[in-house]
Amino acid sequence: MTSAPGMHDQIVHAATLLKAGGIVAFPTETVYGLGADISSSAAVRRIFEIKKRPADHPLIVHFGDASQLRRWARVIPDAAMALAERFWPGPLTLILPRARQVSEYVTGGQETVGLRVPNHPVALALLAELGEDRALAAPSANRFGHVSPTMAAHVHQELGDAVDMILDGGPCEIGLESTIVGFEGQTAIVLRPGGIPLASLAEALDGNVVLADGTRAQRVRVSGSLASHYAPATPLELLAGEALWQRALELRTRRLRVAVVSWSASSRERRAEMMDEKNILNVSMPADALQYGHRLYATLRNLDNDGFDRLLVETPPDDPAWLAVSDRLRRAAHAP
Ligand code: TXA
Ligand code: MG
């Protein structure tokens, strides 16, 4: 990807813009990020303005290599070091006490900072170009509360001229945000399920991993833990099995345009029986959690653009592998 024609020049240009306090959207393996050099308070402030994000919601700081962790975190529990060595570069964000170089305007006033080494050739080339004494604050490149962008075109559509440059690194491989982990002693607390499966974390830490309960997640202000985050504009309902299609028929008789997003074979069979139903679009999603996650946000965006009145989504399997997908869908269904 970095060898695409012109990509190297674009990365050099992006680094120049960032050093001058500009805002550059760039690809990561999870979702596209909206990047600012953390040493520029003006640039970081602009990120909050562009996203329309409350100023007390902390940003994730991205840097180029796990070996630089000490530069950005003041205290590093052994468990955090083990996860950094095992999963970086990768879809894992560690919440650690911030080093002095990480200002409060990046962390929303908190003493901790979210840190991540992204695993995408364009992101890594950009961070290398910036040099190891710099890091990028980068929230997902969408407006606050919306679905994260998984393609450069999504960023264009949503933020367009508000950013100085958009680096196009193709579709994001994972498509859901990073797993966010905090620590209590040597116990890892999963604050947001994401690209790293729970089972992999547990394996790396001899099972010393727990899921945050709602209260704890709220106390550290994970904006992704708001009930109605990650939401499409179209109202979305989560329904299982037969209720899914009953609801579709009911809404259809009220002349609403409905999209049904299903993954199970039984649901597809049910759909086959209803083939003559107009005004009900069926979107078949993969029955594999990773593939489903990869497609989820782009699918929600497309359905938003198509102007449906209601999105009916089949409840995902009750299985740890589906944790991140279930989490995002539950929040999307919660939207006002
Ligand atoms: O995959 C990702 O993590 C993407 C890509 C661009 O890296 N970034 C991302 O950023 O999802 P954002 O800002 O959309 O979500 C970051 C989440 C927020 O829910 C924020 O509250 C939480 O991380 N967070 C950041 N710093 C934190 C801290 N010090 N303590 C608790 N939560 C924190
Ligand atoms: Mg976000």
The structure tokens listed for 238 are 């989560």
pLDDT digits (tens, 9 = 90+) for 119-155: 999 999 999 999 999 999 999 999 998 999 999 999 9
Task: Give the pLDDT of residue 217.
Answer: 38
Q: Where are the domains of the chain?
A: 7-219, 236-333
Q: Closest ligand 1 atom, CA of 62?
A: 7
The closest residue, in CA terms, to atom 22 on ligand 1 is 222
Task: Give the pLDDT of residue 47.
Answer: 97
Task: Give the pLDDT of residue 214.
Answer: 46
Which residues does a 6 A CB cutoff place in the pocket of ligand 1?
Answer: 28, 30-31, 33, 57-60, 91, 93, 95, 107, 110, 112-114, 116, 118, 138-140, 177-178, 180, 220-224
Task: Give the pLDDT of residue 228.
Answer: 62
Closest listed residue to residue 97, CA positions, set 54, 47, 134, 58:
58
Tell me the CATH number of domain 7-219, given options 3.40.50.740, 3.90.870.10, 3.40.50.2020, 3.40.640.10. Answer: 3.90.870.10
Regarding beta strands 187-192 and 209-211, do their DSSP bridges make them parallel or antiparallel, or are they unpaired?
A: parallel
What homologous superfamily is domain 236-333 in, according to CATH?
Threonylcarbamoyl-AMP synthase, C-terminal domain (3.40.50.11030)
Q: Closest ligand 1 atom, CA of 116?
A: 7
Distance from the CA of 60 to the center of ligand 1, in angstroms? 5
pTM for the full predicted model = 0.93
Task: Give the pLDDT of residue 216.
Answer: 43
Q: How confident is the model at residue 114 (pLDDT cuts 50, 70, 90)?
A: very high
* Structural contact between residues 125 and 18, judged by C-beta atoms closer than 8 angstroms: no
Looking at the predicted structure, is the pLDDT value of residue 202 above 80?
yes
Instruction: Transcribe 178-191 into DSSP letters.
Output: PEEEEEETTEEEEE
Q: How confident is the model at residue 167 (pLDDT cuts 50, 70, 90)?
A: very high
Q: Can you tell me the distance from the alpha carbon of 223 to that of 38, in angstroms, rounded to the nearest whole number?
A: 19
pLDDT digits (tens, 9 = 90+) for 280-313: 899 999 999 999 999 999 999 999 999 999 999 9
